[in-house]
Amino acid sequence: MPSSNETPPIVPAAECTTADGGDPVIGQVKWFDPARGYGFVVAEGVEGDILLHGNVLRDYGQGSVADGSTIHLICQMGERGRQAVKVLSVDVPEGPAGDTAFDELSPIPDDLPYLPARVRWFDKSRGFGFANVFGDPVDVFVHVDTLRRFGLADLTTGEAICLRALDSARGRLAVEVRRWEFYAG
């Protein structure tokens, strides 16, 4: 048993138990969809995936995680399989990450235009919402982390905003969101 100053040992995911608090595991994020509020982690030596719920990730302080990231977590066996109960750390992969079109730390392309849009809906407690670009029927996914990156905390339905968006494998994604005054000014 490690002392209180030592990091608990990392064990293979196959050894996840229902014991007090579960066991530490290292795995790779298979995929995570902020719109659905969950994703899955794969770990060597385990049959099946480990459920990573958005609430567990938010408890760690993140609203999303890049596909392919190495994730250290505590997992327990639940009624429907293994699930993460606590995230200990996340290491973002170097280079392109799966089908992710944008990494929060990546610079936004200079030629990406600002688009006038209106908030269709945004639920701060869920950490996401959607906006409509004027004249374009395709919804744009807006994540709370993107808002925070540009100094915003919340959006209201019908609010006029300007945004910059990229197309990803899962749809159009806002990579910058600003108040309307930023665009109009």
**pLDDT digit string, tens, across residues 28-55:** 988 887 777 889 999 887 678 999 998 9
φ/ψ of residue 28, rounded to 5: -115, 140
Give the pLDDT confidence of 87-127 residue by residue, as tens digits.
998 886 654 443 344 555 567 888 899 999 999 999 888 88
Which pLDDT band holds residue 24 (cuts at 50, 70, 90)?
Answer: confident
Write down the mean pLDDT value for the chain.
79
CATH 2.40.50.140 segments of the chain: 13-91, 115-184
> Does residue 67 carry a pLDDT above 50?
yes
C-alpha 147, offset from chain centre: 13
Token readout for 172 is 């159009």
**CA–CA distance, 98 with 109 (Å, rounded to integer):** 19
Q: What mean pLDDT do residues 1-27 have?
A: 55
Residue bearing tokens 């990156």: 149
Region of poorest pLDDT, from 1-5, 18-22, 68-72: 1-5
Going through the chain in order, the beta strands assigned E by DSSP cover 23-33, 38-42, 50-53, 70-78, 81-91, 115-123, 128-133, 139-143, 160-168, 171-179
CATH superfamily of 13-91: Nucleic acid-binding proteins (2.40.50.140)
The CATH architecture one would assign to domain 115-184 is: Beta Barrel (2.40)
Residue bearing tokens 């610079």: 107
Nearest CA-CA partner of 121 in 35, 26, 49: 35
The pLDDT value given to residue 20: 54
pTM, rounded to two decimals: 0.47
What does DSSP assign to residue 17?
A: B
